[in-house]
A and B are shown apart, each in its own frame.
Chain A
Amino acid sequence: MSETPHGALERLAEHGRRGFPHLLAARRRTETDLADVQRRLGGIPLDDGASVVLMGSWGRRERTSGSDDDFLVLVEGEERDARPRVDDLDRVLGHGTAKPGTRGTFGAQVFVGPLVRHIGLDDDSNRNLTRRMLLVLESLPVVGTEAYRDAFTRVIDGYVTGHAKDFRPPRFLLNDLIRYWRTICVDFAGKAREEERKWGLRNAKLRLNRKLLFAGGLVPVLLCHEHRADHQRSFLVDQLQAPPTDRLAHAFLRFDAADPGVRALGAYDRWIGMLDDPDRRAHLTGLTRRDAADDPAFRDVRRVAKEFEQGLLALLFETRLGPLVREFGVF
């Protein structure tokens, strides 16, 4: 079977009857919207080594009607005056309801030097970690594609060069990936203590979108064990440029677990359908932890999340990936 994960979701869909209509519609929406944003940003001033990069649902190629614009202006090297400025993008990205999150992680200029240099220790802030991992796991360039590819490769290099060993998963990247996933989980609880608002939607995204993000990164990192150290960079670049749903679909197919794969990504597909329903999304957004326990809509979320997780666990523990997870995933 094909070594590359690109297009694997469609191939997995052929093993079921329902297919993944919501996911594939969200991909089409992402492509259409991306072309529109690229057209509108065509004339912006762009320094050499600068790119505009989309993350979140854009990067996962799963835009729905309520998606926002998590974007960064990514610039090579160290902090300086660079173009485009965030203001240059105002009319196209992040306005109105598409405004990126309120914590300042997105909608900013980010310089690749510190992003790569500060991996771990005090200078690797939560924000730095988040930006770096999302660049690796779910990013999509709008303009400055070449600069984006260079930055993406530099970040991978930061984890692999001088660290990777032949036929072993790169531990540095693996540990940072696991740290990031656990950080997301801990931060969810922290946010929930700060404010009850949005608990329902945040919890649902933790159970589904964030888990997809983590598992979709974990699988290619583990699969590096099949490669010599000098091939791991190109392997990871190819794998991680595919949407995470393709990476997971590819793994389900490759490890003879098409049935669980169809169920897992079928459950995720139903979740994308829920997210694309404005009323249901608004309902989940307004749901507090206390109300969620007996809420029928949240019960549906719990069910699809459980089915999704069960599929991922089967992939990670009941296939030939199992020994790798055991050997490298805990200690």
Chain B
Amino acid sequence: MVSSPIAEARSVAAHHPLGTSTGHLTELRGQWDMLVMRARDVSTMAVELAALAEPEFLSLCDWLADSGRELPFRFLSVHAPTKQRSLPEPELVARLLALPSTVDAIVVHPDVIDVPERYAPLGATVVLENMDTRKDDGRTAAELAPYFAALPDAGFCLDVPHAHSIDPTLEEAHAMLDAFGERLRHLHVSSLDADSHHVTLRPEDEAAFAPILGRCLDVPWILEAPLPTR
């Protein structure tokens, strides 16, 4: 499919709607009021509240229960925990189900899912993210297909640098969009360092990602690292 030349020429910073993940604001971890203030400085259009460790997630649940309705963001995503997991999966899903109705998307990593069908009650709110080279599953269209088959209403979050790490030609990213593009809910955008950690988007990556970004003009782009200052 052909992407828009105008969109390809525009920078990531100019995209609408654009927002940030709180995951890279490590110095403020767990301080949700502060994290939201920092995210708001980037944009009130979109945000991803990242609670990658389970204790963080539990604190986020408590905090959202008090303040979820007052958040300023047009698109609100919550990243479900992937680390320090101790809750049984049914209890985790129950906690995710109890999040405020203002949450538009709940991002889940396929590689930490035990039984996909358990997430079905989340309906279209659950969003599956493609994984990077460090993971053993959920990295490609073929590996994601069984999860989407088990969760027919689930959305898709394309993590562009993850896809790039799997296939620098980005053919796999195109394949994932061909397969699951109709479910696409938002993007993760950044570059990765040698250890696959999200870092500020490098100009050469921004240029390389352009054809993929051009297919995703309509959805929120969530920055997983600060934008470069230019």
Contact = CB atoms under 8 A, between A and B. Distances in A.
B6 A318 contact: yes
Interface string A167-187: 000000000000000000000
Contacts of B124: 300, 303
Contact of A306 (B1, B6, B104, B181): B104
B219 interface: yes
Contact of B16 (A255, A303, A313): A313
Contact of A318 (B101, B104, B184, B217): B217
Given A263-B218, A303-B124, A314-B217, A319 B182 contact: no
Contacts of A320: 4, 6
Contacts of B123: 296, 300
A256 to B, nearest CB: 5
Interface in A14-51: 15-18
Given A263-B184, A266-B182, A310 B219 contact: yes
A257 B217 contact: yes
A54 to B, nearest CB: 31
B40 interface: no
Contact of B1 (A15, A293, A314): A15
A258 B1 contact: yes
Contacts of A299: 101
B181 A262 contact: yes
A318 B182 contact: no
B216 interface: yes
B120 interface: no
Q: How large is the interface on A (under 10, 10 to 19, 20 to 34, 35 or more residues)?
A: 20 to 34
Contacts of B179: 17
B215 interface: yes
B5 interface: yes
Contact of A256 (B3, B216, B220): B3
Nearest to A310: B218
A306 B17 CA distance: 12
Interface string B1-34: 1111111001000001100000000000000000
Given A303-B124, A317-B16, A318-B217, A256 B2 contact: yes
B168 to A, nearest CB: 22
A17 B218 contact: no
Nearest to B215: A259
B6 A259 contact: no
Contacts of B10: 318
A307 B5 CA distance: 22
A278 interface: no
B6 A311 contact: no
13 contacts: A18-B182, A257-B218, A259-B3, A259-B217, A260-B217, A263-B184, A300-B123, A310-B220, A318-B4, A318-B7, A318-B10, A318-B16, A318-B217
A264 interface: yes
A259 B5 contact: no
B61 interface: no
Given A256-B5, A263-B219, A313-B218, 14 more contacts: A15-B1, A259-B177, A259-B181, A259-B217, A260-B217, A263-B184, A294-B101, A296-B123, A300-B124, A303-B104, A303-B124, A318-B6, A318-B7, A320-B6
A319 B181 CA distance: 19
B101 A257 contact: no
A319 B215 CA distance: 11
Residue picked from B6, B16, B75, B218, most chain A C-beta under 10 Å: B218
Interface in A84-124: none
Contacts of B216: 259-260
A307 B124 CA distance: 12
Interface string A240-259: 00000000000000011111
A66 interface: no
Nearest to B181: A259
A264 B181 CA distance: 11
Nearest to B124: A303
A266 B155 CA distance: 13
A266 B207 CA distance: 29
A259 B1 contact: yes
Contacts of B181: 16, 259, 262-263
Interface in A294-309: 294, 296, 299-300, 303, 306-307
B57 to A, nearest CB: 21
B101 A293 contact: yes
A294 to B, nearest CB: 5
